[in-house]
């Protein structure tokens, strides 16, 4: 990995009147990384990405892309950087190809044949002559990726690329991002979907209301995530709870917030406990897995009060803020 960071943002702040949309965010993305920016809607992800591209001027802090700031290098600071913010937009009265030709001219022109290559990559070669006004949402997303690839980027910034896509479109978009990343591209991916980031990214910054609440590796995050349990609903939860074995490290059954029981433990222990409950004549009315551990942690980080965040995660968040 090169010593020059692809993204080096330090204490970046953006305010709109009383509202602080992004509050002193620090984020470093090394070259070759696949990095996730995760947070619920309104967390400040898009505002941050717009600042990366120079669409919005930060009120404080510095942003360097491959070592260059906007103030020093102007639009040259975007050399090697491409992507799109929210859904990509094009001129509906022009064809996909014509849109790409024009955007290539705004980059000083594309190498001969490059346009066809990128259209091929996103599987739009057959529809390139059609007006963009007739494209589906997914096709526009793919054209957005094609427009980004035209710049031969080293850093690809994608803001919720799967947003609005149907399941097949999401699968294809994720596969495309993985393939691009496998080619050595640095990818900065924003999402509100933990599963998407977990599947694609190595490192992640989790944001909540403009601040960083976690910054670090997905593996470390996974390590800190709460255990996944089984949510059990019976006809007599009090009796079912009483049937749980006494303090047993291999099986814990606790009352959940909604009155159901949550059982944690190895699958065999859970199976045995459920058999015990049913054999005892307690009617079993519902059984399902609780939220995925990372998803559960994401909700804890982005929705809970500060006291609710696992203690072990405070440290990296504080580090990131510094």
Partner 1 sequence: MSTAAETIEPLASPPRARHRAPSLVDATWWELSKLTAQVRARATLLICLVAPVLIVVVINGQGRPPKDTLYGRYIHHSGFAVPLLMLGFAGQWILPLLTAIVAGDIFAGEDQHGTWKTVLTRSASRAQILWAKTITAVAFALVVLVVLAVSTILSSVVIVGHQPLTGLTGQVIPSGTAARLVVASWATAVAPLLGFTCLAILLSIRTRNPAFGIAAPVVAGMIMQLIGSLGGVEAIRPLLLTTPFESWHGLLAEHPFTGPLTTGLIVCAVWCVLCLAAGLVSLLRRDITEG
Task: Catalog residues that contact partner 1 under the rule CB under 8 A.
Answer: 47, 50, 53-57, 74-76, 78-80, 82-86, 88-94, 98, 101-103, 105-109, 111, 121-123, 142, 147, 149, 151-154, 171-176, 178-180, 182-185
- The span from the CA of 83 to the CA of 6, in Å, is 14
Q: Is 175 exposed, middle or buried (0-12, 13-18, 19+ CB in 10 A)?
A: exposed
For the beta sheet containing 68-69, the strands, ordered from the edge strand earlier in sequence to the opposite edge, are 19-29, 7-16, 60-65, 68-69
Name the minimum Å distance from CB 185 to partner 1.
5
Judged by DSSP in three states, 1 sits in coil
CB of 286 to partner 1, least distance (A): 33
Q: Give kind and range of the element (H or E) at residue 257.
A: none
Which is nearer to partner 1, 147 or 261 (by Cβ)?
A: 147
Q: How far is the CB of 21 from partner 1 (least distance, A)?
A: 9
Which residue, 109 or 134, has its beta carbon nearer to partner 1? Answer: 109
Least distance in Å: CB of 150 to partner 1?
A: 9
Nearest residue to 121 (alpha-carbon basis) of 187, 173, 168: 173
Strands 251-255 and 261-265 come out as: antiparallel
Q: Which C-beta is closer to partner 1: that of 104 or that of 282?
A: 104
Give min distance, CB of 156 to partner 1, in A: 8
Rounded Cα distance between 319 and 92, Å, is 45
How far apart are the C-alpha atoms of 94 and 217, rounded to whole Å? 42
- CB burial of residue 292 (10 Å; 0-12, 13-18, 19+): middle
> Between 78 and 261, whose beta carbon lies closer to partner 1?
78
- Quick one: 187 or 261, whose CB is closer to partner 1? 187
Rounded least distance, CB 88 to partner 1, Å = 7
Q: Min. distance of Cβ 100 from partner 1 in angstroms?
A: 11
User: Nearer Cβ to partner 1, position 209 or 220?
Assistant: 209
Alpha carbons within 13 angstroms on the beta-carbon side of residue 162 total: 23
**Closest CB 37 distance from partner 1, rounded Å:** 17
Rounded (5°) CA angle 194-179-162: 40
Q: What stretches of the chain adopt beta strand conformation (E)? A: 7-16, 19-29, 34-38, 60-65, 68-69, 81-84, 155-159, 186-191, 203-208, 211-217, 230-234, 251-255, 261-265, 284-289
Q: What is the DSSP string of 35-62?
A: EEEE--TTSSHHHHHHHHTTSS--SEEE
Give min distance, CB of 273 to partner 1, in A.
37
Taking the least distance from each CB to partner 1, the nearer of 93 and 137 is 93
- Residue with Cβ nearer partner 1 (179 or 285): 179
Residue whose CB is less far from partner 1, 91 or 275: 91
Residue located via tokens 């933990």: 194
């Amino acid at each position: 990995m090169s010593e020059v960071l692809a993204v080096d943002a330090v204490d970046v702040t953006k305010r709109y009147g009383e509202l602080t949309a992004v509050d002193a965010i620090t984020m470093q993305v090394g070259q070759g990384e696949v990095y996730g920016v995760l947070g619920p809607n309104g967390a400040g992800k898009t505002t941050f990405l717009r600042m990366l591209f120079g669409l919005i001027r930060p009120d404080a802090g510095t942003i360097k892309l491959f070592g260059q700031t906007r103030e020093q290098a102007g639009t040259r600071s975007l050399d090697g950087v491409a992507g799109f913010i929210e859904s990509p937009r094009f001129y509906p009265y022009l064809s996909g190809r014509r849109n790409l030709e024009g955007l290539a001219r705004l980059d000083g022109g594309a190498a001969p044949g490059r346009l066809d290559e990128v259209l091929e990559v996103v599987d739009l070669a057959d529809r390139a002559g059609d007006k963009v006004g007739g494209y589906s949402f997914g096709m526009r997303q793919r054209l957005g990726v094609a427009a980004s690839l035209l710049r031969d980027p080293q850093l690809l910034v994608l803001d919720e690329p799967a947003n609005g896509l149907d399941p097949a479109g999401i699968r294809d978009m994720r596969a495309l991002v993985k393939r691009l990343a496998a080619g050595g591209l640095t990818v900065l991916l924003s999402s509100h979907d933990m599963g998407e980031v977990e599947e694609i990214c190595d490192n992640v910054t989790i944001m909540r209301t403009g601040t960083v609440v976690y910054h670090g590796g997905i593996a470390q995050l996974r390590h800190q995530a709460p255990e996944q349990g089984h949510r059990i609903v019976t006809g007599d939860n009090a009796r079912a709870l009483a049937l749980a074995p006494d303090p047993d490290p291999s099986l814990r059954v606790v009352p959940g917030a909604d009155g159901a029981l949550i059982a944690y433990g190895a699958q065999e222990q859970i199976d045995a406990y459920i058999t015990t409950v049913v054999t005892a004549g307690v009617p079993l009315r519902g059984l399902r897995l609780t939220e995925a551990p990372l998803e559960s942690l994401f909700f804890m980080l982005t929705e809970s009060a500060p006291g609710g965040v696992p203690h072990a995660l405070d440290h990296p968040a504080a580090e990131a803020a510094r």
